[in-house]
Amino acid sequence: MAHETAHHYESNTKRIWIVFAILSVLTIVEVFLGIIKPGFLVHTDLFSLSLLNWIFIILTLFKAYYIAWAFMHLEGEVKGLRRAIVWTGVFLISYLIFILLTEGDYVNEVFKTNHVAWDF
Amino acid sequence: MDATVVRTGTEGKSWGGGNEPLKASYGKMMMWFFIVSDALTFSGFLAAYGFSRFKFIDSWPIADEVFNHFPFLHGVDAPMYYVALMTFILIFSSVTMVLAVDAGHQMKKGKVIFYMFFTIIGGLIFLGSQAWEWKNFITGTYGAVSTKGGNILQFVDNEGHRVALADIAQTIPGERVPHTRESGVWFEEGAALPTYSIEEIKAGFAANENILLRTQALTEEGEKTVLSRDESLRKLNTEAVGVIEGANLSQNEYGPPLFADFFFFITGFHGFHVLSGVLINIIIFFNVVIGTYERRGSYEMVEKVGLYWHFVDLVWVFVFTFFYLV
């Protein structure tokens, strides 16, 4: 157990508080938009998803980035470990989301256009 | 040590063991392995939620209308404030956790104790909030009527404000007695009776001109469809079969039962992670207090539970977005 874990570590408190401020601001913006729901964002679609939902998802990814990089200290890990963690998740999750949402949309189409009534 | 360890002759070479090519200790690596696999589990659940939501894209419940309670503000419509507060509590407990890790790197035992204590408190507050949220969801607010097709019909007044079953129902004297084991030939109980029977709701609805029906179908504006008075009467009298109050795994006054199932399953699974996180934090907290890591010369254990705790926070960020915002 004699490996040197305590190598010249400098305190990060300032960065921690800055990240906390960023996360708080992002959350407040999300909640604010979620409550007022500006009409032009709700009714403008981009790739069959409203602009408002795109904003929510992008802000969420930003928050995830800050939590993983600053709090879970991924920024201090070596590149190999960081990539193994991030890309595994990103590839598998994007694939899963793509395949399931496409299927869900298809089932919705079937319900709508099928000859069998499901609301009787 | 020399007496018990079989020597392989590879000491100091690449395969001699003790190498850390990723510059992370064994324990930290394993925590990361776990976190990645757990992240995939959670994304499986959330993607399944997305599937069901796309399936019912034109009739899914609106989260703002479902989660609009705030402690001590009874009857006030407070969409999402409470979840936002919960999110802050969890983010803040993440901050105190990372401060504890930071203090551990500097070998400041007192500070580690101080920050870990607040992390645990934050986790407990979050768990309590979630229990309260579940309670509101399970009890329900307004109640609804279910149709033959398994859909939900809700009641609104002329201005579109929701109306509770209690304000509609007329009391019809009748023999509505719950079937218990004692009164049966066979040793089985009947399902619990709702507070009002469907006949009482129908009678009350017919008597009250100002009440309309609201279906689950979403309009272009993203709001629920409100039927005209005639249409409401026709639909209620031909299609309504049962009364629903609150939500459980098989029926749900807010919309499709799937919505409630996913709510219980995903927030429950996350809540279980928070609970185990709090327990692990408590164990490590007492280890810090009795000086285990001080003697070991490294607070890496605090760092490892810290990773888990941040992961729980990370998952909540996604649950918050996909359950309450999108």
* Domain range annotation of chain A: 12-76, 78-114
- pLDDT 10s digits, B208-265: 888 888 888 888 777 888 888 888 888 888 888 888 888 888 888 888 889 999 999 9
pLDDT band at B170 (very low <50, low <70, confident <90, very high): confident
**The CATH homologous superfamily of the domain defined by B42-140+258-325:** Cytochrome c oxidase, subunit III, four-helix bundle (1.20.120.80)
Q: Return d(Cα A38, Cα A42) in angstroms, integer.
A: 6
- Residue B95: phi and psi, rounded to 5, are -65, -45
pLDDT of residue B134: 93
Residue B148, SS3 per DSSP: coil
Token pair 């063991």 in the structure block, residue: B17
User: In this predicted structure, which of A13-17, B11-15, B100-104 has the lowest mean pLDDT?
Assistant: B11-15
Are residues B116 and B94 in contact, defined by beta-carbon separation less than 8 angstroms?
no
Give me the residues of A, 66-95, that contact B with CB < 8 A. Answer: 67-68, 70-73, 77-78, 80-81, 84-85, 88-89, 92-93
- pLDDT 10s digits, B267-323: 999 999 999 999 999 999 999 999 999 899 889 999 999 999 999 999 999 999 998
Select the residue of B35, B106, B313 nearest A9 (Cβ to Cβ).
B106
How many contacts (CB atoms, under 8 Å) link A and B?
151
Contacts by residues A2-9 (CB-CB < 8 Å, ≥ 24 positions apart): A3/B18, A3/B20, A3/B25, A5/B25, A5/B298, A5/B300, A6/B105, A6/B107, A6/B297, A6/B298, A9/B105, A9/B106
Contacts of B278 (CB under 8 A, 6+ apart): B120, B123, B124, B127
CB contact under 8 A, B102 and A31: no
pLDDT band at B2 (very low <50, low <70, confident <90, very high): low
ipTM rounded to 2 decimals: 0.87
Residue A27: its chain B contacts at CB < 8 A? 84, 87-88, 91
A42 to chain B, any CB pair closer than 8 A? The answer is yes
Q: Percentage of residues in chain B with pLDDT exceeding 70?
A: 94
